Structure 1
């Protein structure tokens, strides 16, 4: 009988890939370093890939010397790609020392080395002679990501709903939403205790015009991310919205030209699957853990600071009853 792909590795969690002695014990007991693994829930991969993301240079080196091919791919990526994408630079260096190729092209033409050029340590690997490096557009995208993330670094987005709309003025957004200015007394009440009257307060959102479009926010709720709001805002343009659900994480919605294009997304979640385009892969790499900045960037918004997100907005609005 053929052993299942996970034979020898079942039950290991993220921290387990950092335990050198435990990894050695499994290997000596017959665990296959080349196998596929189902580990800690639905995560799937090869042992070296898991170690590249969750382990230490020592566990990476131990597995790397036992595999048949240190550059074996899983889900269109090598272990070195995984280490670079996860910004585990110590593990990336260990893989290169074991023979991994930083300049091997894979997803959408990216290689681990070229991806690293866009990250916080562009000098991680020596650039081969004649290698073009990043394009001017890619370098500009990386620079803007660093600027935007810095501008929004103090945003606490738990419970917050945000809609980032491209090429739309605040005045036009107000018209499309059929909203009216919220009274000062209502704003004072909601700011004093946003959860005192949830039904009433969910009807209030803030709007701010920014370079590239506008931002609709609700620091205490999900309303900017619901279709009743995003669909009219996206007519003739695009709207990237999210609700930072403290229980289940960031829940995203992409609306384009009045229709839902993608739902249940995870903005800032760092998904670099092979189904993405080259530009999407770069954005996923640059904006890991930065859900609001990711949504702004994907809509082409160039916020100079965090005011459009954390307030005070240009205008507080009350939405029609149907949009709550």
Structure 2
């Protein structure tokens, strides 16, 4: 049985994407939001974020857990990639908070990922300002009720949650910089309740 054109293209892109991103041996505690169809500047505008101070970033990167979580959670990086952009936080789950995903996904699609050190990878889907799925397991096996395309993606990106999140949103990064850094821009989010959206 041969692959359909869709399956063949999906498999080729999966190989290209996983090769471009490489292995993430240690990314526990990292949060991502993969946003389709908008560039970094538009993501920053939607989040009403402001540029973060360089000295603070240097100190945070040196020891992010020395900072109060309430403060460090408001700092993140944003990077444009082919197909959209990635919002990243090497030390926290902020990019995957509902209030962030809802703002980013207006008129488009977002896949949020948090590499939870305690319970493994957690995923969320937001489409056009609405959370469509949460407590998902990107890079895990397919779920009951998945479409054939979702089953194929689960197979192609098994054990690779970062690539799965990028692929779900149609992002085509050519290297790992959007995830591993440094981002195009470091920003500070306004202080607000991001858990209710």
Distance 2:74 2:45 in 1: 16
Quick check: 2:142–2:150 contact (8 Å CA) kept in 1? no
State the secondary structure of the residue aligned to 1:250.
strand
How far the C-alpha of 1:208 sits from its partner, in A, is 0.1
Match of 1:181 in 2: 51
1:193 paired to 2:49: no
1:102-123 CA distance string (max 9 Å, x none):
xxxxxxxxxxxxxxxxxxxxxx
Gaps of 5+ in 2: none
Q: Whose RCO is larger (CA < 8 A, sep 6+)?
A: 2
1:228 paired to 2:102: no
Match of 2:87 in 1: 216
Match of 2:126 in 1: 255
Match of 2:15 in 1: 146
How far the C-alpha of 1:276 sits from its partner, in A, is 1.4
Report which of the two has the higher share of strand. 2
| TM-score normalised over the length of structure 2 | 0.94
Moved more, 299-308 or 141-150: 141-150
1:15-74 CA distance string (max 9 Å, x none):
xxxxxxxxxxxxxxxxxxxxxxxxxxxxxxxxxxxxxxxxxxxxxxxxxxxxxxxxxxxx
Question: May I ask how many residue pairs the two structures share in their alignment?
Answer: 192
**Aligned counterparts, 1:297-308, within 5 A:** 297-308=167-178
Distance 1:323 1:152 in 2: 32
Q: Runs of at least 4 residues of structure 1 off by over 6 A?
A: none
- CA root-mean-square deviation: 1.1
Quick check: 1:215–1:309 contact (8 Å CA) kept in 2? yes
Distance 2:124 2:5 in 1: 30
Match of 1:238 in 2: 109
